[in-house]
Amino acid sequence: MNFFVVRWKQMDPIIVQVNISPGGLPKRAISEGSIAPLGIAGDLHAHPEIHGGPEKAILLIASETVDEFIRRGYPLFYGALGENLTTRGLNVRDLRIGDQIRAGGALLEITRPRGPCRQLDIYGESLKEELYDARVQQRDPSSPRWGMSGFYLSVLQPGPVQAGDIIAVVSHLA
């Protein structure tokens, strides 16, 4: 009898969805986009005094977070939380402010955790508290909610992006 050993290789982290909107929630998937200094071309903000700008050009959220909250009964889908990039396989618990990330052809830098706004109440008033806490607000990565609300990123180098592109930390601050 012959036995074969199958080695499972963990896939590289990828972008599973690129999202934009004419302003507000939700953001909807596009097949490909162009990341510019102020975000993905065609993505607008309902409240530009709060969202967007060079320090909040891109919002990244892990698909694993969205999937977990769907399992908990929240009516979410990729793009529902307002993210521009929905990722899979990128361990958000390990991400830190200042980390540089290659997303498709763009180079991005994490500037801050995303503070959820009241617009998320449409998915359930308790969602914000489950995604974010005072420790995340204080930028404490030991919070059990670290990374769940997503991260804002600035654009260091513009470039194209599409679903299926690799997303990787290229510079990690200790």
Q: What is the value of pTM for the model shown?
A: 0.92
Instruction: Calculate mean pLDDT across residues 78-88.
Output: 98
Mean pLDDT, the chain, rounded, equals 93
Domain coordinates of the chain in residue numbers?
14-171
How far is Cα 129 from Cα 21, in angstroms, rounded to an integer? 25
Residue pair 76/111 in contact (Cβ under 8 Å)? The answer is no
Question: For the segment 132-152, what is each residue's pLDDT rounded down to a tens digit?
Answer: 999 999 999 999 999 999 999
Residue pair 81/150 in contact (Cβ under 8 Å)? The answer is yes
Tokens (6 digits) for 53: 């700008």
Partners of 62 in the β-ladder? 87
Topology of domain 14-171, per CATH? M1 Pyruvate Kinase; Domain 3 (2.40.33)
Question: For the segment 5-51, what is each residue's pLDDT rounded down to a tens digit?
Answer: 445 455 799 999 999 999 989 999 999 999 999 999 999 988 887 88
CA dihedral (87, 69, 98, 10) positive or negative? negative
